[in-house]
Amino acid sequence: MVIKKVCCIGAGYVGGPTCTVIAYKCPEVTVTVVDLSQERIDQWNSEDFNLPIYEPSLVEVVKECRGRNLFFSTDIDTAIQEADLIFISVNTPTKTFGLGKGRAPDLKYIENASRRIAKIADTDKIVVEKSTVPVRAAESIQRILQANNKPGCSFEVLSNPEFLAEGTAIRDLLNPDRVLIGGDETPRGRRAMEDLACVYENWIPRKKIILTNTWSSELSKLAGNAFLAQRISSINAMSAICEATGADVAEVAHAVGTDSRIGPKFLQASLGFGGSCFQKDVLNLVYLCEALNLPEVAAYWHQVIAMNDLQRRRFANKIISSLFNTVTDKKIAILGFAFKKDTGDTRESSSIYLCKFLMEEGAHLNIYDPQVVPQQILSELKYPSICDDPKKVDRLVTIFKSPYEAIKDTHAFVICTEWDEFVTLDYQTIYNSMLKPAFAFDGRRVLDHDNMQQIGFHIETVGKRRNMKGLNGYTPVTP
Ligand code: UDX
Ligand code: UDX
């Protein structure tokens, strides 16, 4: 089958950019992205291109394709009916109740999408899992589709995980390290994999397109994210040792990363990783191992999450202890709420947890982020597991439109997201506007610490002890 019409269920961070790039690179393919949310679709269709997600270069590519061969709609049934190939890109959050609570992914949206396809489709379809799913989810999708099969209509289910990172989504989609397609090892399965591969071959060299069996493809996505998260937890574990000994984690990361077998990427110590994927996918892997009766393997991967939790807690403790062991009624500015720069996404952002710990101590927080809307910040902080009393959030949190205004008259500011603009702020003016002693906490290691100290700041960061003989009375630990 030559794929002429593609439908994507789910117009989120994955479905939206992925299908935009497919439409951009395959002008002869019609791509329709559908979603249950009218509001989201209206944003994708907005005249002023006020898109629901912020991604560098996304607007430019949408401008080029929308209305040409890229369409956004809530008419899910028509899009399913007309498509040769359907991507399922709905969200798969970690379950918050019931069996597997806190670990297993919630597959209800995937199941709903599969049932809808089974009900509506009356011609052959290739159904592609784009969402991250547990290993063997394709089997469940296939069973749902088959159980509702109409005569003369068959379905082939493929796994085609997405490896884009937010903030660099368009770049990653245009030039991926690889495209992974998993399918059944049958002639029909093979043909479906080739059909999908042909779509990608419009812009991706064939040697970068990897074909595997379905379970390898599903597991590779979890494994990829688990390995990346593990690297960050490993360097963050080293940062704790650095802070206790006088070593500098940046120097350690550089020295370690120059070994070509290890490589330099994903060795940036921070206040902990965030994002919708790492924690969810590692927990998904842990749950899978437990279900497979592999408790030691589960415990091994779970430690990646435990280390991340510890890193967030350690950083909050550093702030509290530096501020003379109390932040109650003190004003602290939080710079950055997104889980990384160049995105407005806040899911599992470490900023949320830092704010939680500081609110528990009664600190007043002035929050600034260049991309996250105030409503989003407040709804994250009012989530019951973060703060049990929404009124407390209203009392303690103020959101600002300028970093200078946010920091004015505070005891301390904390860099939580590595936005480029934080590097070039006028820190002398900022210092002058703060209460003294003025504290700066660099959770992303983006500031010039010597310069900050010269200005007069008491500066603390991750993985390096700044104030050898300062307020904390540092004495190196000798073995
Ligand atoms: C993706 C993946 O699909 C997920 O598995 C991965 O781990 C993280 O990234 P993402 O695109 O980030 O999810 O999710 P989100 O931005 O929430 O978008 C999902 C969209 O699907 C939403 O717009 C939601 O309205 C839509 N949806 C959900 C449907 O259209 N139908 C449903 O039944 C459920
Ligand atoms: C990740 C994977 O990179 C991507 O392949 C997958 O498809 C989805 O999950 P994403 O979560 O969007 O992408 O961003 P990523 O760049 O991986 O960053 C995740 C978190 O780790 C961020 O909070 C980031 O700040 C943090 N991080 C990253 C570090 O703390 N140190 C690093 O060295 C790298």
Q: Is 387 a catalytic residue?
A: no
- Which of 177, 232, 348 has most ligand 2 atoms within 8 Å of CB, for mutation? 232
Judged by its nearest atom, the ligand closest to the C-alpha of residue 223 is 2
Average pLDDT over residues 393-414: 98
40 lines ligand 1 (CB under 6 A): yes
* Tens-digit pLDDT profile for residues 345-359: 999 999 999 999 999
113 lines ligand 1 (CB under 6 A): yes
Out of 277, 289, 355, 416, pick the active-site residue: 277
pLDDT for 468 beyond 60: no
Report the percentage of the chain scoring pLDDT > 90.
91
Judged by its nearest atom, the ligand closest to the C-alpha of residue 264 is 2
Q: Which amino acid is at 61?
A: V
Please provide the average confidence, as pLDDT, over all residues in the chain: 95
Q: 443: CA distance to ligand 2 center in Å?
A: 15
Contacts of 373 (CB under 8 A, 6+ apart): 344
Ligand 1 atom index nearest CA of 108 = 33
Neighbour-count burial of 357, counting CB atoms closer than 10 A to its CB (0-12 exposed, 13-18 middle, 19+ buried): middle
* Tens-digit pLDDT profile for residues 6-25: 999 999 999 999 999 999 99
Ligand 1, atom 13, lies closest to the CA of: 91
pLDDT for 64 beyond 90: yes
Q: 130: CA distance to ligand 1 center in Å?
A: 10
278 lines ligand 2 (CB under 6 A): yes
Q: Tell me how far apart the alpha carbons of residues 467 and 458 are, in angstroms, rounded to a whole number.
A: 8
349 lines ligand 2 (CB under 6 A): no
pLDDT at 366: 98
Tokens of 83: 């498509």
Q: What angle do CA 237, 239, 241 make, to 5 degrees?
A: 80
pLDDT at 109: 95
Contacts of 385 (CB under 8 A, 6+ apart): none
pLDDT for 477 beyond 50: no
Q: Tell me how far apart the alpha carbons of residues 466 and 459 are, in angstroms, rounded to a whole number.
A: 7
Q: Tell me how far apart the alpha carbons of residues 190 and 183 are, in angstroms, rounded to a whole number.
A: 7
Nearest CA to 392 among 355, 359, 353? 359
Judged by its nearest atom, the ligand closest to the C-alpha of residue 34 is 1
339 lines ligand 2 (CB under 6 A): yes
Q: Tell me how far apart the alpha carbons of residues 35 and 100 are, in angstroms, rounded to a whole number.
A: 27
Ligand 1, atom 20, lies closest to the CA of: 10
HEC string for the chain? CCCCEEEEECCCCCHHHHHHHHHHHCCCCEEEEECCCHHHHHHHCCCCCCCCCCCCCHHHHHHHHECCCEEEECCHHHHHHHCCEEEECCCCCECCCCCCCCCCECCHHHHHHHHHHHHHCCCCEEEEECCCCCCCHHHHHHHHHHHCCCCCCCEEEEECCCCCCCCCHHHHHHCCCCEEEEECCCHHHHHHHHHHHHHHCCCCCHHHEEEEEHHHHHHHHHHHHHHHHHHHHHHHHHHHHHHHHCCCHHHHHHHHHCCCCCCCCCCCCCCCCCCCCHHHHHHHHHHHHHHCCCHHHHHHHHHHHHHHHHHHHHHHHHHHHHCCCCCCCCEEEEECCCCCCCCCCCCCCHHHHHHHHHHHCCCEEEEECCCCCHHHHHHHHCCCCCCCCHHHHHHHEEECCCHHHHHCCCCEEEECCCCHHHCCCCHHHHHHHCCCCCEEEECCCCCCHHHHHHHCCEEEECCCCCCCCCCCCCCCCCC
Ligand 1 atom index nearest CA of 36 = 30
Q: Tell me how far apart the alpha carbons of residues 24 and 174 are, in angstroms, rounded to a whole number.
A: 10
pLDDT for 36 beyond 90: yes
Q: 41: CA distance to ligand 1 center in Å?
A: 13
Backbone angles phi, psi at 397, to 5 degrees: -110, 130
Q: 272: CA distance to ligand 1 center in Å?
A: 24
Contacts of 85 (CB under 8 A, 6+ apart): 3, 5, 6, 7, 125, 126, 127, 128, 195, 196, 199
Ligand 1 atom index nearest CA of 13 = 11
Q: 89: CA distance to ligand 1 center in Å?
A: 6
Q: 52: CA distance to ligand 2 center in Å?
A: 21
Point out which residues pair with 212 in neighbouring strands. Answer: 182
Distance of CA 362 to the CA centre of its chain: 29
pLDDT at 479: 43
Flag whether the pTM goes above 0.75. Answer: yes
Ligand 2, atom 34, lies closest to the CA of: 266
225 lines ligand 1 (CB under 6 A): no
Judged by its nearest atom, the ligand closest to the C-alpha of residue 165 is 2
pLDDT at 478: 45
* Tens-digit pLDDT profile for residues 208-252: 999 999 999 999 999 999 999 999 999 999 999 999 999 999 999
Backbone angles phi, psi at 74, to 5 degrees: -100, 0
pLDDT at 1: 74
Q: Tell me how far apart the alpha carbons of residues 460 and 453 are, in angstroms, rounded to a whole number.
A: 10
Ligand 2, atom 11, lies closest to the CA of: 275
Judged by its nearest atom, the ligand closest to the C-alpha of residue 37 is 1
Tokens of 158: 């493929």
In order of 94, 122, 306, the CA distances from 10 in angstroms are 17, 21, 31
Ligand 2, atom 15, lies closest to the CA of: 165
Tokens of 450: 């010597």
Ligand 1, atom 26, lies closest to the CA of: 10
Question: Do the beta carbons of residue 275 and residue 338 sit within 8 Å?
Answer: no
* Tens-digit pLDDT profile for residues 343-402: 999 999 999 999 999 999 999 999 999 999 999 999 999 999 999 999 999 999 999 999
